[in-house]
Chains A and B, each alone.
Chain A
Amino acid sequence: MTTLLSSWLSSPAALGSILAEPTETVPYRAEVRAARRGDQSAFEALVRSVQRPVYGLCLRLLRTEAEAAEVAQETFLRAYQHLGRYDDSKPFDLWVLAIARNLCLDLLRRRSRVHTQDVDDMHESLPSGEKSQEEGVIAAEEYRSLEVALSTLGPDDREVLALYYVQKRTTKEIAQVMGVAPGTIMARLFRAREKLRKQMKTEDAQ
């Protein structure tokens, strides 16, 4: 038991490590300024830099590739249209993620029901190269069951887990994206993780 406890405390993902926030920097400032002046290649560079987390968040929230791609495109279009309102003292990627989140939640609210094939759609969209990398560490079946369990959670839980564990965002950054107090993120993370743990237990039992 002592070994388990010490390994938990020394784990890089342990709760203690998330209390330490890294130093804030504001990347992409030059590109944003150039894009504001109408330099589309600068905006293209911005899109290339943040497309993956934006699309990733959209896919985790919406669970269908087509919708995720459409909403992610719309996100960047809105970002371009409203670059004048962006406060460049804050990270650009967080601003764009907040737009993406807002658009996804709008779409989720409009949805009347959840399609059952969505979970499979999302699994197929996982990058195969990285999937094989993962296979060296986690067994493919475990990886799949984690994705399945994750996809059964509500959007709020999926969002906070994806931002924290998949995108490695700090609690402060997540709070900025979600528009909530930073102090609430730890509790949200715990609750989402606890739901996921219970869900995985249920799946294991079946």
Chain B
Amino acid sequence: MNACPDLETLLVAAAEHDADALAHLRNCADCAFLAEEHRQLEKDLTRLVDPLPPPDFVHAVMARVALEPAPVRVELRTAVSILAVTLMGATLAFVATHGSLGLLGTHAASAIVAWRNLFFGASEALAAIWSTAALPVVVAMVGVVVMSTLGVRRLGAHRVVEAQVRP
């Protein structure tokens, strides 16, 4: 007879009607005994039942629920807040352009030109730093990228767990 395999592996394989596992169970009294104990335990466990909650349980829950605002009102409040912020932004844009929203395009173009100058200035500054201290800059940038990636990954994992177990 072959040496006994790991019990978990053996039982899972036997449950999947694996021929080797079944043959081992037929020939090994020890493993067959353990398999039978697990089967009996499963049988007993399936006979357990959940206890009943206290008789006033539903009333107690509903008494607390009655003090809460309706869920739809909470959602409505959020929607109204978003709408209010959007309208405020639109009003500000209207006032900033002296009532002529067509000027928004001109303002946007001016901003792009200003940003372009800023971009070129920053590029020249970076080039100067690069030519004098390239290695420290590379090390610092790698550090920032690694730390940011780890932080984002950790935040992402936390949010997944929260989404699964929190309301």
A21 on the B face (CB < 8 A): no
B105 on the A face (CB < 8 A): no
Nearest Cβ in chain A — how far from B19, in angstroms? 13
- Which B residues are CB-close (under 8 A) to A156? none
Q: How many A-B residue pairs have CB under 8 A?
A: 189
> Is the CB–CB distance between B48 and A146 below 8 Å?
yes
Closest residue of chain B to A51 (Cβ to Cβ) is B53
B46 on the A face (CB < 8 A): yes
Contact pattern, B 29-48, Cβ under 8 Å of A = 1, otherwise 0: 10010011111011111111
Closest residue of chain A to B37 (Cβ to Cβ) is A197
Size range of the chain A interface in the assembly: 35 or more
| Majority secondary structure, B binding face | helix
- Could you give 24 example pairs across A and B, Cβ below 8 Å? A5-B36, A8-B14, A8-B38, A13-B39, A15-B15, A36-B71, A37-B70, A51-B57, A52-B53, A55-B52, A81-B71, A102-B165, A125-B51, A134-B47, A137-B47, A138-B44, A142-B44, A147-B48, A165-B42, A166-B46, A168-B46, A179-B161, A179-B164, A200-B41
Name A residues whose Cβ lies closer than 8 Å to a Cβ of B.
1-2, 4-5, 7-9, 11-16, 19, 35-38, 40, 43-44, 47-48, 51-53, 55-57, 59, 65, 69, 72-73, 76-86, 95, 98-99, 101-102, 125-127, 130, 134, 137-138, 142-143, 146-147, 150, 161-162, 165-168, 176, 179, 186-187, 190-191, 193-194, 196-197, 200
